[in-house]
Structure 1
């Protein structure tokens, strides 16, 4: 793989032109059939797919020979995804083990920069993906890599982006619950490491597997996300149906959201605690209407972060008290209590603080995961 200098940006500043995009998806639960969902959610013109395949990853940008399967979409091998739309592949037979890395190859024949359309992408997915030299290299065992989706954020952290890939769905070998974790950068995995799969949700997945609890986990975190206002992406109320309720087989959802509403609000009166609570109630009611169990997570301490204020701290504590005591959630994950400094509860424990005073360190993510009562996931539904 050629070396590259990481560009400083808010996301991988890539466009594609007659190139193959090879992306990695970690599946918590394996199975016997797979389908892939591609997205042009934020596009303003159709996204033309020249070819697509799915395979098991070997290492780096290589796949396991013989595992690749050709993807079609409603029978079409070269679909065009309309603006704002998703496209679900036809299912393919494929043996996938638990905790496997699956490769999704997409050949993009057109120049995405020339289209002047917004590119649908996840700015910081914390997974390096690969972009080929020119041509259709879908299904190649060794991809001729021209570059990767890695970049260096403005805060100095190395990260990577993913493009046009919404999700990978699997037909499991036995009945399995599905947990969607809905949240912001702390669920997304900021400061957990690039290509490490050490987010609190990955660690929870490992605990569930070790306990014999059949539960697929889906990460619905987006860095910068808020309950009420658009940030890096649409606000939580706007994206909840797409990112939670539309996921196949969902039985449980966790919600950890609001710290960016509070932090970006600073000392201003809005958003108020009442408005944040109303937003949480909306999400809870919509999930309960679909028969889901909904678990709320308290917001972790953030004194010392760039957008901390005394007024914001008061809102965090008030919202956390409501999450803990209102009974609106079916259960509560008290991440704040698990990670706060007992001598100064407005801050995280030093060993749990990544250094930016907002995101946990790997040890902090471990403490969050370990604080969860996994018996809450033993029953597959409400």
Structure 2
């Protein structure tokens, strides 16, 4: 039986204790971390998130396999099949909860057979790690068009000691069965992470820990848009908010080397405690446009930054800081926005963030150069003039609590474009487009951030 979800987040109930699989906690750690007397109770912290767009196939995926066999009719979406999405939590906890979105669907989305387990490799799971996920105590949920639903908490025995060093960087596999035909699919196009799907009509296969039922692969995420972990009170949650340069275009497929990934590893080494960094980038995203966005009027870059701010940042759990990198697409020939429109949008967005998340620190990131880009929409002199003026505003206006000077980290002063070693594309081996930094560029960007802005002095 499926539980119907409201258009807003569904309330979570008690943890699932009846899942049939067992997993010995001492595989990763001997004991559960003790609770200090008088310490604040653990709280939900968003450990992984992605920004939804759609419906599929509108978007800008990277390194996408041919999707015709998994999803032969885009208008019908997924049909009686199971998706196994692979993702990397940045904080682990003994319990997790999952958020599913039908934001850009036109039909009720019925899911059941939802499971969460530890990825072994490919579509295979570590034996015994897979756990049944419930919704209001039931094994399924129906999400109305435009809606979303949180699952109940689910125990993760393999993360009984979330501080175990061997857990850091491990990946979670979330499997779910789409009952019937989903219709137009809410998705995130540019995952740069391989996930898996059964054939249409294969039914509920999420309980299986092997990979035999999952012949098809995808470089995108569908429907799932957030994972919370039960974490120590005060766990920092930092959101990278922006466009393709936050989403990770030209980084390494399955390499986890977008700038938010590199930043997370720096923070993990520096802080000596759990820190979450989540990626709210969408390839092609704009600050000021499009004016309208929805299932009948999609746009490859997703809804505008201001349209998605509530869902993609404010509604997440425990957010303490936001690093905002946006503007290059507004000044492209696709956007044609004025400098004033982008500056005004940023000011509005910062105001909304501070109102929605009391105490949040909002860091402005300077926009990197696209001068000389091979992209027809980018690289012209007018775009670069507006970009430099926006960077002056970000650095000097006092709008932000701090500045991440990404432009300075990757700029070739002689050419005015990206440094030569930061141009070749890291996944395909292509020449690069002089718009998106590669792995070397993202590394330099993340390393340029003053961690004290995020963690305090």
Q: Which residue of 2 aligns with 1:278?
A: 344
Q: Which residue of 2 aligns with 1:312?
A: 383
Between the aligned partners of 2:127 and 2:203, the Cα distance in structure 1 is 20
Q: Say if 2:236 and 2:455, in contact at 8 Å, map to a contact too.
A: no
Q: Which residue of 2 aligns with 1:124?
A: 190
Between the aligned partners of 1:105 and 1:379, the Cα distance in structure 2 is 38
The answer as to 2:354 corresponding to 1:288 is yes
Q: Say if 1:130 and 1:145, in contact at 8 Å, map to a contact too.
A: no
Distance 1:344 1:352, change over 3 A: same
Q: 1:137-286 residue pairs with structure 2 within 5 A? A: 137-150=205-218, 160-173=219-232, 175-212=234-271, 214-230=274-290, 231-232=299-300, 233-265=302-334, 270-286=336-352
| Helix, strand or coil at the partner of 2:225 | strand
| Helix, strand or coil at the partner of 1:58 | strand
Q: Which residue of 1 aligns with 2:3?
A: none
Shift of 1:63: 0.9
The answer as to 2:399 corresponding to 1:328 is yes
Between the aligned partners of 2:112 and 2:153, the Cα distance in structure 1 is 18
| Helix, strand or coil at the partner of 2:350 | helix
The answer as to 2:38 corresponding to 1:38 is no
| Helix, strand or coil at the partner of 1:22 | strand
| Helix, strand or coil at the partner of 1:319 | helix
The answer as to 2:174 corresponding to 1:100 is no
Q: 1:63-78 residue pairs with structure 2 within 5 A? A: 63-78=125-140
| Helix, strand or coil at the partner of 2:173 | strand
Between the aligned partners of 2:176 and 2:329, the Cα distance in structure 1 is 34
Higher relative CO (CA 8 A, sep ≥ 6), structure 1 or 2? 2
- TM-score, normalised on structure 2? 0.75
Shift of 1:265: 4.9
Instruction: Give 2:441's match in structure 1, choosing from 340, 364, 370.
Output: 364
RMSD: 2.0
Instruction: Give 2:369's match in structure 1, choosing from 283, 294, 301.
Output: 301
Unaligned runs of at least 5 residues, structure 2: 1-63, 160-166, 291-298, 425-431
